[in-house]
Amino acid sequence: SDIRMPGLDGFGLVRALRARGDATPVVLLTTFDDEDLPLRAAEAGAQGFLLKDASPEDLVEAIERVARGETLLAPVPTDPVRARYAYRDQAEPTDTFNEREVAILRLIAGGYSNKEIARAVFLSEGTVKNYVSDILDKLGTRDRTRAVLKAITLRII
């Protein structure tokens, strides 16, 4: 989806999809190289962000990575996100994240609800809630958006 479309822009489209429970992975494309756009894309629930001048190979790779559950803000540098949301404690969390927690964190970054995550990873919703709670504790936050931003800042996802 293009970020700046007439009528409903890409951010609005992703929010509308998520509001109706559609968990389809989304990569937003734009010609605008604005450091706030990747963050806005992630906050809207997109799993990927790519500039339109990306090579066909980069586009294919982006789609494949997002389909695997990864969050992709490349090739736009994530340094502005890290700088804007710098945390006092830049050290890695003392607790490590296992593969399942990283996968769930990536789905959280994609705007998935606990119910959607449960379906995607074949767990009960209650188990997902426990994982999310553990992830938030490990990242020292109570907010899913802040958890994603901190995970990006700390290069966990």
- Return mean pLDDT, the chain: 79
Q: Which of 26, 52, 84 is the last residue of a domain?
A: 84
Instruction: Assess whether 79 and 103 both reside in one domain.
Output: no
Helix ranges (H only) for the chain are: 10-19, 37-44, 56-67, 79-84, 99-109, 114-121, 125-139, 144-153
Measured distance CA(29)–CA(59) in Å, rounded? 10
Instruction: Assess whether 80 and 20 both reside in one domain.
Output: yes
Question: Could you read off the pLDDT of 73-124 as tens digits, one per residue?
Answer: 654 455 555 565 555 555 556 678 998 998 899 888 877 889 888 888 889 9
The two three-digit tokens of residue 83, written as one number: 């700088």
User: pTM of the predicted model, to two decimals?
Assistant: 0.49
